[in-house]
Amino acid sequence: MRLSRYFMPILKENPKEAEIVSHRLMLRTGMIRQQSQGIYSWLPLGKRVLDKVNKIIREEQNRSGAIELLMPTLQSADLWQESGRYDDYGKEMLRIKDRQDRPMLYGPTNEEMITDIFRSYVKSYKDLPLNLYHIQLKFRDEIRPRFGTMRSREFLMKDAYSFDLTREDAIHSYNKMFVAYLRTFDRLGLRAIPMRADTGPIGGNHSHEFIILADTGESEVFCHKSFVDFDIPSVDTDFDDVAGLQSIFDKWTSVYAATSEMHDEAAFGTIAEGDRLSARGIEVGHIFYFGTKYSEPMGAKVQGPDGKEHVVHMGSYGIGPTRLVPAIIEASHDENGIIWPASVAPFDAVVINMKAGDAACDAACEKIYAALTKAGKDTLYDDTDDRAGTKFATADLIGVPAQVIAGPRSVANGEIELKDRKTGARETMTIEAAINKLVG
């Protein structure tokens, strides 16, 4: 992408309304724009990151056996009356009347709708287990939306729903998501800690939040330090291995970790003082097993091997991509801007032409830009006539991992400088060496 043709409206000043660093940097870099209170546009730079986050989430959901569909944002109130949640949900639910005066709502979550889909088609235990997910907009009319897309009203959620014949099978489905989540957050460059959690309006009795530690987190969390060293399940994990997944779950829940709602000061006190971690955290995922809470009132049943009807056991599993993006920034930035993990960086590399219009600089930059693009690297080419200092600052601010700096003096020697955003290390090398290193 040539910057001269791109739309990346960098703000010169830090926006005053932003209280936390991720919100400030997302506004400053032109990743997002507020359209109404708690409602945001994702501008091109932000959209690129969001797409990469979604892609990783999808890959790990699919790997675990979950199947993607797409439910609508607007739902009929009828479904929610069936489950009994229509009245319970309160003012966070955006209620709407259509032109026929029918009561509708903008879905804050999809347990009811997916249960309706399930009961319409699935009749036999032979079609189980089943886990269906989508990545779709939700609306929750928070009284105090804040921190940009960290707590917005219209937001994106990956929500998966599992259906099983028995509680035992449902726990295996739960463990699949537990492992998929560990892998997902790890690939996003985050160390997320699963913590026993309160189930809130979703209901159920077996639930974990995945929390990353950050000073700006809304939750107070307590855990054992050893989490930092736990191994992430490998890409070859067999999701059909019931005992194998259970052992991963057991390992990751073997030491103390809880949010403040579930905190047990006495249990925490038994940990050696040096191993206690009391901190603030950001919730980036939440999984629930809730048995027959929805399947029972909504009549989601299958015929079992015994020929009888059984109410299915369900779980639901959420990740908020539009919250993950700021969470990643909270976890990875410095005074110059964002430091993207390579997996979600909006661009893999930026080619900085220090003297656009200079024939040698232009030729060198075009060559590198073409080679990287051809190799499938998302490359930003700063071909503008801004001053070199502005270009360096922008490249650091938007956090592109690899920066290729081409100035007249080095280019005259067939060389460029390669800078690593994270470490700040600079290395002079030939153009060919730089291409080989980045394409590698």
Using CA atoms, how far apart are residues 438 and 368, in angstroms rounded to an integer? 10
DSSP string, 79-115: HHHHHTHHHHTGGGSEEEE-TT--EEEE-S--HHHHH
Among 99, 144, 308, 409, binds a second copy (CB under 8 A): 99
Place of tokens 């056996």: 65
Binding a second copy (rule: CB under 8 A), the pick from 15, 89, 122, 355 is 122
HSE-CB at 123 with a 13 A cutoff on CA atoms is 3
Residue type, 101: D
Confirm or reject binding of residue 294 to a second copy (CB under 8 A): no
Least gap, CB of 72 to a second copy (angstroms): 5
> What is the distance between the alpha carbons of residues 328 and 343, in angstroms, rounded to a whole number?
11
Residue 429 CB, nearest approach to a second copy (Å):
31
Residue 418, both tokens? 């390669």
**DSSP state at residue 425:** -
Site membership for a second copy, residue 44 (CB under 8 A): yes
> If binding is defined by CB under 8 A, does position 6 make contact with a second copy?
yes
The site that binds a second copy (CB under 8 A) totals a number of residues, namely 54
CB of 389 to a second copy, least distance (A): 20
Residue 147 makes contact with a second copy by CB under 8 A? no
Q: Which of 14, 17, 55, 67 binds a second copy (CB under 8 A)?
A: 67
154 binds a second copy (CB under 8 A): yes
Question: Which position among 104, 262, 271, 439 is part of the footprint of a second copy (CB under 8 A)?
Answer: 104
Using the rule CB under 8 A, give the single segment among 86-94, 172-180, 255-263, 339-347 that binds a second copy: 86-94
Residue type present at position 227 = F
DSSP calls for 160-171: EEEEESSHHHHH
Q: Report the nearest approach of a second copy to the CB of residue 406 (Å).
A: 22
Among positions 65, 203, 244, 341, the unique one binding a second copy when judged by CB under 8 A:
65
Cis check: omega of the bond before 297, within 30 degrees of 0 = no
Residue list 383-402, contact with a second copy (CB under 8 A): none
Compare residues 130 and 312 and give the one whose CB is closer to a second copy. Answer: 130
How many angstroms separate the CA atoms of 407 and 336, rounded? 22
Report the relative pairing of strands 301-303 and 333-334 from DSSP bridges: unpaired
C-beta of residue 227 within 8 angstroms of C-beta of residue 221: no
What's the closest the beta carbon of residue 233 comes to a second copy, in angstroms? 20
Partnered with residue 302 across adjacent β-strands are: 310
Q: Which residues bind a second copy (CB under 8 A)?
A: 5-7, 9, 30, 33, 35-37, 39-44, 46-47, 50, 65, 67-76, 91-92, 94, 96, 98-100, 102, 104, 106, 113, 116-117, 120-122, 127, 130, 132, 137, 139, 141, 143, 153-154
